[in-house]
Amino acid sequence: MKNIKEIMNKIHPLIKKWLDTRTFEKRGLYIFGTTGTGKTYNLKILKEMNQEKKGDIKFYTVPDFINKIATLRQQMSIDRSQFGYNNQVITKMLSGETPLILDDLGTETLSDRKLEDLYSVINNMSEKNTTLIISSNLSVQELERKVGDRICSRIVGMCHIVELSGDDKRFKN
């Protein structure tokens, strides 16, 4: 397995700066930019760094995170024997106690219930000062239109905002 120094050499300079300057109050990171600028790539490096340090951080795409909770709720309504276990899993996922990486915020279709779940996890993480790292193609202003001011305000309050720009690294002529 790679060592931390090798991993750090691959990370974007703005994200490296965040690692060096983050504070207790602003321990999160909101990375945004156009498609192919390296957002997910850098999130995977941050996850790898965390694993090297034996840390506990969960990585989800936002649609997977939100849909997993919806699926667990649906299973609970169909099979009452799953209620206790599924409810425990949902409670843990929304508790905000485990550092979390959420990739591609803004790509999902959000029903009122899914929006409520997204608010719950972000609010809980904000209250507990848990590290939250998010990527999105949306600027903060676009995100506010998508998810509302309550969620966006909490993200801005707890996260450093970093824009990654440049050409699409996946699509080369």
Residue 3 covered by a domain: no
Residue 172 covered by a domain: no
Whole-angstrom distance, CA of residue 55 vs CA of residue 7: 15
**Range(s) of the domain holding residue 44:** 15-163
As for how many domains the chain has, the answer is 1
Q: What is the pLDDT along the chain (173 residues), one digit of tens a residue?
A: 456 677 777 888 888 888 787 777 778 999 999 998 889 999 999 888 887 777 789 999 999 999 999 999 999 888 888 888 889 999 999 999 999 999 999 988 889 999 999 999 999 999 999 999 999 999 999 999 999 999 999 999 999 999 998 877 776 65
Whole-angstrom distance, CA of residue 4 vs CA of residue 6: 5
26 alpha-carbon distance from chain centroid: 15
What pLDDT sits at residue 95? 94
Residue 55 covered by a domain: yes
What pLDDT sits at residue 23? 74
Residue 150 covered by a domain: yes
Whole-angstrom distance, CA of residue 16 vs CA of residue 9: 9
Please answer whether residues 106 and 63 qualify as being in contact, where contact means their C-beta atoms are separated by less than 8 angstroms.
Answer: no
Per-residue CA distances from 26 to 7, 79, 130, 158 (Å): 23, 41, 10, 5
Residue 132 covered by a domain: yes
Place of tokens 């991993």: 7
Residue 51 covered by a domain: yes
Helices (H) and strands (E) in the chain, counts: 8, 5
Bridge-based pairing of strands 58-61 and 159-163 is: unpaired
Residue 75 covered by a domain: yes
CATH of the domain at 139: 3.40.50.300
pTM: 0.87
Residue 173 covered by a domain: no
